[in-house]
Structure 1
């Protein structure tokens, strides 16, 4: 990089190889100097392929790893807790200037040079927030993993939110089915602690306090919340298999309501596909609703074009087959 600044990203993943590999390769091809992948499944078959990627550091989160981090407690039940521990371990061990904490299904899109923006940020106690755009599926059949357009996060009044998002307003927060908070990056070694969405600092009384935030003017976060109908169904079932106290901690009310609707309306794969179209597809009615409030964004995100021969197979069939192999317990409840 011309200004010498080095940035990268860290993620904790338990996903099909095609998604994680595309994420890593995309960021390395678009400016990241390093990527850090913590594999939540210690037997993840993706480890070997990811370790072969230059500038990608892979950590298997096995029992030995968690004993070293938490000698008396071991692996945290909460995925958010695991993500936070992993993100800050990467921060403490990397030689970057900036580190972003993202998920495997989130991709940093640059409208302008992110490195230049980072170099211009002088306050080391301020995080840089990447505002989120959530993918909306095409109205017809989906053939590859990243097709679609995007819905911007928003802070509409209650009446306007109902006009923009009905009949599923109760499943959304800030206009997103997942999260509207975006993700953050911090200057490495400045004393800020990476969280799932935001960074914190240690206050005068020793407690963690939310760090100051600046919203990026050059980059956004593209979120692919459920890459296929099967992926979406598996995510819902996985949430429901976590302990109730963990669900209460990690699922906000809008997300919990969405999952309840999913499980009520998708007892098999065909029903899941129908429910998925109802919730996620950009129907003419939904396009009109979102256009009225200026919430649609067209982003030419195309990993295959950027990565060329290094791009994994992004067709749905291979992704879903890998998903089924990786989730044998969940696959037993899905009738195909």
Structure 2
């Protein structure tokens, strides 16, 4: 046993069931506090969350932003970082805090608190690298391929058509999320990094024993429904960097998807999805052959029933 505690800060706009499953999973994983900022009013979710003593829930309505003495930021990424920093700078109720999204789930081979308790005082942050769910199966993931000379070769082997354009084979981020010790001065929490007094905080990388299971594309229907927002304002938006410099033939995800759509429309997007995202025997075999197939049973329904037994939307 250890006295070390950890918590999560998350800004969420999602169906009630998804919000509660996210919270329930991390309560089962040992979170001591979960700070949830509802990006829009959700009375049903608020009621269930507020009833749990380990959860602090705030509705980010006009009153909230007025209390923060600022206008509501137009970009959700800015709202996320503002709220995560707000959670960090409150009176510390945990020893470690991490900012996460509603489709991300911490998984570990032993209690997370025990792993964090073993971290030395310096550096004061530790990076949790992601693994990305194969669409159609909630328990199968592609593992994170470390940067280096083998990444491009492995990715091209796994994804013969699009591997050269998709960094590490991941549609979403490879940066993961960062646990940071609480109580440090002048901290600003961003989505994938933490800054102190304007300088990026030193970070242990990676943290062995903990993974970030990312359900970025649960199904084709789920992915294509979110696609238009992501390609304009989200994780595929125009201003994000290419997978490698343009002069070396690199493309950003926005550029890649724009090209696919212009050449083949939605059918082209589906072909991309089937190669890179879908849970297929061929992709499983390839991932296993390279040592990057991950199988994890999140058991979200059981956790939901355990921690929110009055919720009837199961």
1:67 and 2:66 correspond:
yes
Q: How does 1:129-278 map to 2 (within 5 A)?
A: 129-138=127-136, 147-154=138-145, 155=147, 156-191=150-185, 192-202=187-197, 207-240=198-231, 242=233, 247-249=237-239, 254-257=252-255, 259-260=257-258, 261=260, 265-266=265-266, 276-278=273-275
Moved more, 14-23 or 57-66: 57-66
The alpha carbon displacement at 1:147 in A equals 2.3
Change beyond 3 A, Cα 1:157–1:36: closer
Q: Is the 8 A contact 1:29 1:307 kept in 2?
A: no
Change beyond 3 A, Cα 1:103–1:66: same
1:116 and 2:114 correspond:
yes
Secondary structure of residue in 1 paired with 2:204: strand
4+ residue runs over 6 A deviation: 271-275
Change beyond 3 A, Cα 1:49–1:249: farther
> Structure 2: which 5+ residue stretches go unaligned?
243-250
Q: Is the 8 A contact 1:132 1:152 kept in 2?
A: yes
Provide the C-alpha distance between the structure 2 equivalents of 1:248 and 1:70, rounded to a whole number of angstroms.
30
Provide the C-alpha distance between the structure 2 equivalents of 1:34 and 1:110, rounded to a whole number of angstroms.
18
Provide the C-alpha distance between the structure 1 equivalents of 2:17 and 2:255, rounded to a whole number of angstroms.
30
The alpha carbon displacement at 1:34 in A equals 1.0
Provide the C-alpha distance between the structure 2 equivalents of 1:300 and 1:43, rounded to a whole number of angstroms.
29
Provide the C-alpha distance between the structure 2 equivalents of 1:273 and 1:186, rounded to a whole number of angstroms.
39
Provide TM-score, normalisation by structure 1.
0.77
Q: Is the 8 A contact 1:134 1:225 kept in 2?
A: yes
Provide the C-alpha distance between the structure 2 equivalents of 1:106 and 1:258, rounded to a whole number of angstroms.
25
Secondary structure of residue in 1 paired with 2:238: helix
Superposed CA RMSD: 3.2
Provide the C-alpha distance between the structure 1 equivalents of 2:164 and 2:41, rounded to a whole number of angstroms.
37
Provide TM-score, normalisation by structure 2.
0.82
> Which residue does the alignment assign to 2:81?
84
Moved more, 47-56 or 87-96: 47-56
The alpha carbon displacement at 1:130 in A equals 1.0
Q: Is the 8 A contact 2:231 2:237 kept in 1?
A: yes
The alpha carbon displacement at 1:63 in A equals 2.1
Q: Is the 8 A contact 2:133 2:215 kept in 1?
A: yes
